[in-house]
Amino acid sequence: MSRQSDLWQQWIRRHGKGMLLYARQFSRSLADAEDAVHDGFVSFWEKFGENGEPALLYACVRNRAMDIRRSENRRDRRDGKMALQQARPPPLFDTTAEAEEKASEIAAAMEMLDLPQREVLTLKIWAELTFEQIGKTLDINANTAASRYRYALQHLRCKLNSEVFYD
């Protein structure tokens, strides 16, 4: 295996799950989220390679997921298939039998967050980005990212009966 291939695989192992969870925030299906991750990663790797930073990777995935979503919306309007827009999104978490109930509660509470808060929460917790990196990904100030994160945690605390969440 080449050095380039090894580096590429390391990036996928490190960020793959976080990218998929992040892409699912914008996607109607798991397949669309997977496509967004693939296309976003390829775009990132072609532009930046091993010298890129994770914030740029997540920005590429976000852009591709939004492109896919816009394309689907146009197709739905053109074809008159509005029922798809009302379909419930896929669950956010892969769960085991033991954790299914708790994961459902958390997923339901996360669905109640507005998209900007949910994006920041996902990037902070699952992608492990800093507020500065989140700001770059979303093209917002790092302080705005931090505020959205705090508001998201507050909202989740209320919805989950004051379960412990760490700032």
Query: How confident is residue 42, by pLDDT bands cut at 50, 70 and 90?
Result: very high
- Average pLDDT of the segment spanning 107-130: 89
Question: Which H or E element spans position 15?
Answer: helix 3-24
User: Which of the two residues, 135 and 166, has the higher pLDDT score?
Assistant: 135
Q: Among the listed ranges 28-32, 78-82, 111-115, 119-123, which one has the minimum average pLDDT value?
A: 78-82
* AA letter at 137: T
Looking at the predicted structure, is the pLDDT value of residue 119 above 60? yes
Looking at the predicted structure, is the pLDDT value of residue 3 above 80? no
At 155, is the secondary structure helix, strand, or coil? helix
68-99 per-position pLDDT tens digit: 998 887 877 777 655 544 555 656 655 565 56
Q: What is the pTM of this model?
A: 0.64
Measured between alpha carbons, how far is 46 from 68 in angstroms, rounded to an integer?
A: 20
> Exposure pattern of 151-164 as b/e (b: 16+ CB <10 Å)?
bbbebbeebeeeee
The pLDDT of residue 167 is 46
Q: Among the listed ranges 15-29, 79-93, 116-130, which one has the minimum average pLDDT value?
A: 79-93
Q: Which fold has domain 92-167?
A: Arc Repressor Mutant, subunit A (1.10.10)
- Average pLDDT of the segment spanning 127-141: 93
Domain range summary for the chain, segments of one domain joined by +: 1-90, 92-167
**Distance between terminal CA atoms of the chain?**
41
